């Protein structure tokens, strides 16, 4: 449907351009714009005092759509989301848009239409070793706590909830293997970090975005500008191997690197909506949920944190990032480490 709507937008655009040469703009008042005025795109078009009934109706439909986005995906309505939606739909014939919003309201969040929309609204910004202080704290404080907790079971289960394109999952897996080597539970063999007999690391990455998950599974990253490697420490480089990409898929001048098999084989990726109150996994030892709850309102954050607590084993560790408040303290004991807060799951049942 989005594709059909885009086709409709394109033809509406063509018709508008043709009409514009003979008639006043459909978007604003009948007065021609002053040459210095900003182009009538995004919010500027809708916050002008002389709003047309078209733009008011569009804004109303967009508000309805934003409410649907928040209910289904947690992403709170805001200027950024509104701007993106205005940009997508501003030239849409109103009747088509109204019918579409109505049909969307009747669909579940798993419907392909919502999926297409959410791909356009989510922010996938991430990179390796995103927060070095946190990564140091993970190696020096959190991993020793977890290895001590799991020395009888000999396995670590890790979940990156909202893993985007996978960098966080590979960071966590690599950190776990390095901590195991330090503790004598893994060794370096022919350049690979190999767990000692009986030991295992299982890392699970989930996200709402299928596009992001495809990149995560492919595990191939380019070294362009502010991309995945903008902050890569030297000792992180052993995790990668050079890879050649077919010229049709490669960007000129960019080198590509793939996560090595011995790290990839510990990982798995799946689509999961954080709004679901049933976790996709249980008994997790380490859960990272960073740079996503900032897009949610407090009641949604609280529901997500409760779901994460449900997924965790007693003694397991939750990391939310420094800017997100713990809203379900009944299930956790707080620790303040050198790289920020972390939370140890207690025995309280949910």
Ligand X SMILES: C[S@@+](CC[C@H](N)C(=O)[O-])C[C@H]1O[C@@H](n2cnc3c(N)ncnc32)[C@H](O)[C@@H]1O
In whole angstroms, what is the distance from residue 276 CA to residue 78 CA?
A: 22
Which residues have CB under 8 Å from 305's CB, separation 6+?
293, 318, 320, 326, 327, 328
Q: Rank residues 14 and 123 by Cβ distance to ligand X and give the closer one.
A: 123
Among 59, 274, 309, 344, binds ligand X (CB under 6 A): 274
Neighbours of 139 (CB within 10 A): 15
Q: Which of residues 211-230 bind ligand X (CB under 6 A)?
A: 212
Q: Rank residues 18 and 322 by Cβ distance to ligand X and give the closer one.
A: 322
Among 207, 317, 341, 345, binds ligand X (CB under 6 A): 207
Among 55, 122, 203, 305, binds ligand X (CB under 6 A): 122
124 belongs to the binding site for ligand X (CB under 6 A): yes
Site string for ligand X, 11-50 (x = CB under 6 A): ----------------------------------------
Q: Rank residues 150 and 301 by Cβ distance to ligand X and give the closer one.
A: 301
Q: Is the dihedral of CA 288, 290, 295, 298 positive or negative?
A: positive
Collapsed DSSP state (helix, strand, coil) of residue 245: coil
DSSP secondary structure letter of residue 158: E
292 belongs to the binding site for ligand X (CB under 6 A): yes
Q: Among residues 216, 136, 149, 215, which one has the least CA distance to residue 175?
A: 136
Please give the C-alpha separations between residue 98 and each of 41, 65, 78, 115, 192, in angstroms, as whole numbers. Answer: 20, 10, 21, 19, 56
Which residues have CB under 8 Å from 27's CB, separation 6+?
40, 45, 52, 54, 55, 90
123 belongs to the binding site for ligand X (CB under 6 A): yes
332 belongs to the binding site for ligand X (CB under 6 A): no
In whole angstroms, what is the distance from residue 205 CA to residue 209 CA?
A: 12
Q: Rank residues 55 and 206 by Cβ distance to ligand X and give the closer one.
A: 206
Q: Rank residues 147 and 169 by Cβ distance to ligand X and give the closer one.
A: 169
Among 55, 175, 209, 305, binds ligand X (CB under 6 A): 209
For the bound state, the minimum distance from the C-beta of residue 234 to ligand X, rounded and expressed in Å, comes to 21
In whole angstroms, what is the distance from residue 75 CA to residue 114 CA?
A: 13
For the bound state, the minimum distance from the C-beta of residue 125 to ligand X, rounded and expressed in Å, comes to 5
Count of residues that bind ligand X according to CB under 6 A: 23
Among 173, 175, 267, 291, binds ligand X (CB under 6 A): 291
305 belongs to the binding site for ligand X (CB under 6 A): no
For the bound state, the minimum distance from the C-beta of residue 165 to ligand X, rounded and expressed in Å, comes to 7
Q: Rank residues 72 and 264 by Cβ distance to ligand X and give the closer one.
A: 72
Kind of pairing between the strands at 200-207 and 155-161: parallel
125 belongs to the binding site for ligand X (CB under 6 A): yes
DSSP secondary structure letter of residue 295: G
For the bound state, the minimum distance from the C-beta of residue 92 to ligand X, rounded and expressed in Å, comes to 24
Which residues have CB under 8 Å from 234's CB, separation 6+?
none
For the bound state, the minimum distance from the C-beta of residue 73 to ligand X, rounded and expressed in Å, comes to 4
Q: Rank residues 75 and 186 by Cβ distance to ligand X and give the closer one.
A: 75
In whole angstroms, what is the distance from residue 188 CA to residue 63 CA?
A: 55
How far the first Cα of the chain sits from its last, in Å, is 40
Among 260, 264, 290, 301, binds ligand X (CB under 6 A): 290
User: Which range touches ligand X (CB under 6 A), out of 47-55, 147-155, 235-243, 286-294?
Assistant: 286-294
Are the beta carbons of 342 and 317 closer than 8 angstroms? yes
Q: Which residues bind ligand X (CB under 6 A)?
A: 73-75, 122-126, 130, 162-164, 168, 207-209, 212, 273-275, 290-292
């Amino acid at each position: 449907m989005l594709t059909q709507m885009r086709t409709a937008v394109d033809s509406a655009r063509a018709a508008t351009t043709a009409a514009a040469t003979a008639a006043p703009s459909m978007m604003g008042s009948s007065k021609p714009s002053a040459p210095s005025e900003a182009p009538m795109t995004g919010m500027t078009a809708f916050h002008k005092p002389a709003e047309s009934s078209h733009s008011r109706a569009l804004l109303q439909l967009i508000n309805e759509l934003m409410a649907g986005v928040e209910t289904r995906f947690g992403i709170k309505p805001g200027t950024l989301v509104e701007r993106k939606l205005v940009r997508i739909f501003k030239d849409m014939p109103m009747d088509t848009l109204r019918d579409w919003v109505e049909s969307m309201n009747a669909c579940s969040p798993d419907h392909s239409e919502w999926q297409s929309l959410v791909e356009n609204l989510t922010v996938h910004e991430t990179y390796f070793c995103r927060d070095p202080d946190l990564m140091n704290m993970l190696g020096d404080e959190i991993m020793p706590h977890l290895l001590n907790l799991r020395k009888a079971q000999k396995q670590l289960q890790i979940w990156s909830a909202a893993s985007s394109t996978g960098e966080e999952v590979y960071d966590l897996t690599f950190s776990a293997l390095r901590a195991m080597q330090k503790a004598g539970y893994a060794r370096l063999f022919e350049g690979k970090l190999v767990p000692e007999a009986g030991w295992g690391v299982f890392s699970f990455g989930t996200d709402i975005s299928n596009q992001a998950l495809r990149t995560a599974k492919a595990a191939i990253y380019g070294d362009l500008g502010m991309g995945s490697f903008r902050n890569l420490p030297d000792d992180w480089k052993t995790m990668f191997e050079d890879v050649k990409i077919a010229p049709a898929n490669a960007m000129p001048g960019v080198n590509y690197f793939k996560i090595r098999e011995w790290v990839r084989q510990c990982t798995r990726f799946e689509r999961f909506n954080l709004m679901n109150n049933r976790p996709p996994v249980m008994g997790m030892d380490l859960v990272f949920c960073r740079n996503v709850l900032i897009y949610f309102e407090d009641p949604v954050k609280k529901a997500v944190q409760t779901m994460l607590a449900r997924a965790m084993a007693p003694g397991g560790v939750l990391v939310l990032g420094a800017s997100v408040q713990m809203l379900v303290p009944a299930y956790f004991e707080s620790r303040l480490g050198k790289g920020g807060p972390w939370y140890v799951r207690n025995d309280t049942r949910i």
